[in-house]
Structure 1
Amino acid sequence: MMKRFLSLMVLLALVGCEKPHDDGWLGYGEGDFAYISAPQPGWVTEMGVERGKLVRRGDLLFVLDDAQQQASHDQAQAALAQARASLTQERSNLSYAATELSRQDNLAKAGAGTPSQRDQALTQYQQSRARIAQLEAQIRQMTASLGGAAYTLSQRRVVAQTEGPVQDIYFRPGEYVPASTPVISLLPPANVYARFFVPETELAKVHLGQQVRISCDGCKPMTATITFIAAQEEFTPPVIFSVGNREKLVFKLEARAPGGLPLHPGQPIQVRAL
């Protein structure tokens, strides 16, 4: 009897000493960075931001050399101006040709003109109309070309299409940037989310669309929704490994909230299911 009593006391002591898994799942803040590049290569001539600066839509980020693009724009603009001047002159010629044709028609009706003079006036009138149609077509094409040149020139000044703090700058003034190579990275607030890891033994407790409570040192608790559950397990990442969280195999999960979470990438968090 005494032996059974001692065994029961030992069992109760062990249960009492066992620390429940109530610290939540460990993880950290993460973000989908926006990498800003230019569609064409060039030399960086001006940097409008610094690391850590909060930028708004429309803020200047950086400028690439634009001498070639400016020259192409000016050339297209000059060609269009010349074509428009030619069109104005040709319309004046058409007015004169129309007046001359009308005069020859009146002379022919009065029997004072000659057929050859009228034919010559008609030919000049028709040729003037043809030149006007040709110039109008050229002007439409040149206008489109000027618009393209203006757009290409504007792309040398890269402005922010989203807002967020500047995370990193990869090129500085005086450096050459290949086409489509990121120059700056931003982190839009809406792109910040929570990444955490659940032991395989607890995976059945979570599902997509489930709400979780996120907490961290010095911040207010926040609610997010699970949007991703990894299909395969992985070893516990070193960044969250601890004596109290030493399960070898865990599943990576992500949780997001409308407008993003007020976290910093890499910031430690604890996550609990709701």
Structure 2
Amino acid sequence: MSSTTAGSPTGARSRLPRRAPVWGGAVILAAAALAWGVNDWRYGQYIESTDDAYVGGDVSALASQVSGLVTQVAVTDNEAVQKGQLLIRLDDRPYRAALARAQADVQAAQAALANLNAQEVLQSAVIEEARTEIVSADAAVTLGLANQTRYDHLASTNAGSVQQAQTARATYQQNKAAAQKARAALKAAEAQLGVIATQKAQAQASLGAAQAEEQNAALNEQYTQIRAPFSGTVGNRAAHVGAYASAGTQLISLVPTTGLWVDANFKEDQLAHMHPGQEAQISADISPGTKITGIVQSLSPASGAVFSLLPAENATGNFTKIVQRVPVRILLQGNAATLGLLRPGLSVTASVNTK
């Protein structure tokens, strides 16, 4: 009796509701998978990705512009610094002495120019005096000519003596000579003014050269202090107190904390619809799960192989086609905390939405 009950249709129907949740869950999973697949087909087909991508930045290798002993290293490796902060100081005593000499040369040149200016003023007064002498001499010549004419007439009519006529004639000749001398003096004074003008031009040139040397000496004195050109992090510090640094020697490197980018090397068959302005997404192993956004800035005008030291030569021998990659520059966006996780040289994965 009990076996008949166990095999009855009523017992079978009682077990059916237990299978319904299983089938329902399967249907839901299938629907979700279908939705995901449709979404991936609709949007994923426009996403181009590559893991051949690296973080880049304007890493600056700072060098000394002058030579000297290192007297101070104000920072340590991996230290964050601000723009304008002192990094390294060189012995500035020789450069301060050179600046003092240059300043003295400027003062001497200024004094020489001031002296010539005074001479120019004095010479102008001499010229005015010479012109006055000419006027006086011309008046004496006019008077002497009148006296000579009058005494000659008196002598010819026996109304005056011959001696008086001769004296008047001699006085007239002396006055003429004095007038000529005054004119010669004026020409000489004017010529001297031209000489002074030439000397002034030379003095002004000397002053300009001295001032340029002073500026150069001041710059050299400033160059003994190496300061951060931008905010960043110190790295590759090669300077040590007491070491001699020659001009042009790399002493320290500075890595920027902002303005980073990614150079992503996409395959040539991924570039058909890629252009500047498209959105990009970056993921890095240094911060798993963190998505960093960016914008495509530019595409390289040639593949990486073209810019290599030894470009491939495919004109001879057997040829095997190799898919080429083209560097794409992606500017990173986001807050400073997120971008601060990245370091130039890190490898990342870059994805670009080409829709």
- The residue type paired with residue 257 of structure 1 is L
3-state SS of paired residue (1:132): helix
3-state SS of paired residue (1:77): helix
- The residue type paired with residue 155 of structure 1 is Y
Native 8 Å contact 1:224 1:255 kept in 2: no
Q: 274, 293, 305: which is aligned to 1:223?
A: 293
Q: 50, 60, 81: which is aligned to 2:76?
A: 50
Q: Which residue of 2 aligns with 1:141?
A: 209
Q: Does 1:214 align with 2:283?
A: yes
Native 8 Å contact 2:261 2:332 kept in 1: no
3-state SS of paired residue (1:187): strand
Structure 1 unmatched ranges of 5 or more: 1-23, 233-250
Alpha-carbon deviation of 1:254?
Answer: 7.6
Q: Which residue of 1 aligns with 2:86?
A: 60
- Aligned residue runs from structure 1 range 75-114, under 5 A: 75-111=101-137, 114=181
Distance 1:142 1:92 in 2: 21
3-state SS of paired residue (2:65): coil
- The residue type paired with residue 220 of structure 1 is T
Native 8 Å contact 1:55 1:164 kept in 2: yes
Q: Which residue of 1 aligns with 2:194?
A: 126
3-state SS of paired residue (1:62): strand
Question: Which has the higher Rg, Structure 1 or Structure 2?
Answer: 2
Native 8 Å contact 1:27 1:196 kept in 2: yes
Judged with a 3 Å threshold, the aligned counterparts in structure 2 of structure 1 residues 51 and 256 are, in CA distance, closer, same or farther, namely farther
The sequence identity of aligned pairs, in percent, is 20
Q: Which residue of 2 aligns with 1:263?
A: 341
CA-based RMSD: 3.7
Q: Does 1:183 align with 2:257?
A: no
Judged with a 3 Å threshold, the aligned counterparts in structure 2 of structure 1 residues 85 and 94 are, in CA distance, closer, same or farther, namely same
Native 8 Å contact 1:94 1:125 kept in 2: yes
- The residue type paired with residue 87 of structure 2 is L
Alpha-carbon deviation of 1:62?
Answer: 1.4
Q: Which residue of 2 aligns with 1:171?
A: 239
Native 8 Å contact 2:262 2:332 kept in 1: no
Q: Which residue of 1 aligns with 2:67?
A: 41
The range that moved more, 126-135 or 163-172, is 126-135
3-state SS of paired residue (1:174): coil
3-state SS of paired residue (2:61): strand
Distance 2:342 2:283 in 1: 13
- The residue type paired with residue 92 of structure 2 is D
Native 8 Å contact 1:31 1:192 kept in 2: yes
3-state SS of paired residue (2:332): coil
Q: Deviations over 1:69-105 (max 9, x none)?
A: 3222222211111111111122112111111211121
Distance 2:349 2:187 in 1: 94
Query: As a proportion of its length, which structure holds more helix?
Result: 2
Query: As a proportion of its length, which structure holds more strand?
Result: 1
Aligned length: 231
